[in-house]
Amino acid sequence: MKYRINREDMMELTRRMTPARTSFTRIAGCYVDGDGDFDGSFNINFLKLSPAEKGRNLEIAKTVPFSETNVQLKKYKCSEAAQGPGSVWQLLNAMKECGLKNDALMDSFYDLVMEHYKSDSPYGILVFHDRYDVPVKAADKERLGESEETYEYLICTLCPLSGEYEPAKPEWGFLFPAFTDRSSDGNYIHIFHGGSRDYHALDEMLTGERVR
């Protein structure tokens, strides 16, 4: 079952996704060849990227929250069964809590995606970590300055590869946990569809049920 997304929540996140304003901490990912085999991975402190690399990767990450809300980007609740021990939900929370620094967790996640997505062309799986200090806003929506809460989240994108290890525009991805009314919404996830392929197996992997 899907739920409505407030466009302003997504715009609040994307407005910060510039090289000068970003608070992204880390980017990790892997490459998959045309036979569906693992073809290498990386795990980098985002601040150590060059300005050009930051810009390119922010454009990729921004595709998910900046996409058309409630059309390309939809909000889903994760079933109780999918949140139990050993679930992908538990894995995502562990990835978030360690800030993507645990390579074993990342490899487990890549394996899950590769298991649920079959492609005859190379693609990349990119995962971004961020901590956003959500500012308090007055009734007139003016910022009061201090932080209301820290929203810690992941953005994942699945990108076709153009050239040698060059991610093209994402075709599928998600924002976890959901960002609702300017706050973390732990039982929900935003899923992005930007390509023409069938991604239902990936959607079901995340939510524990067939989504539409």
pLDDT in tens, the chain (212 residues): 568 999 999 999 999 999 999 999 999 999 999 999 999 999 999 999 999 999 999 999 999 999 999 999 999 998 887 788 889 999 999 999 999 999 999 999 999 999 999 999 999 999 999 999 999 875 555 555 566 789 999 999 999 998 889 999 999 999 999 999 999 998 999 999 998 888 999 999 999 876 66
**Torsions phi, psi for 65 (to 5 deg):** -70, -20
* pLDDT at residue 198 in the model: 86
Closest CA to 34 of 108, 119, 98, 105: 119
Query: Total domain count for the chain?
Result: 1
Instruction: Specify if 51 maps to a domain.
Output: yes
* pLDDT at residue 144 in the model: 55
Contact 154, 78 (CB under 8 A): no
Instruction: Specify if 194 maps to a domain.
Output: no
Domain enclosing residue 182, as ranges = 2-135+145-188+200-207
Contact 189, 174 (CB under 8 A): yes
Instruction: Specify if 90 maps to a domain.
Output: yes
Instruction: Specify if 161 maps to a domain.
Output: yes
Instruction: Specify if 89 maps to a domain.
Output: yes
**Torsions phi, psi for 58 (to 5 deg):** -65, -35
d(CA 20, CA 206): 32
Other C-beta atoms closer than 10 Å to the C-beta of 15 total: 12
Instruction: Specify if 212 maps to a domain.
Output: no
d(CA 136, CA 180): 15
In this structure, what token pair is assigned to residue 80? 């109780």
Instruction: Specify if 39 maps to a domain.
Output: yes
Instruction: Specify if 32 maps to a domain.
Output: yes
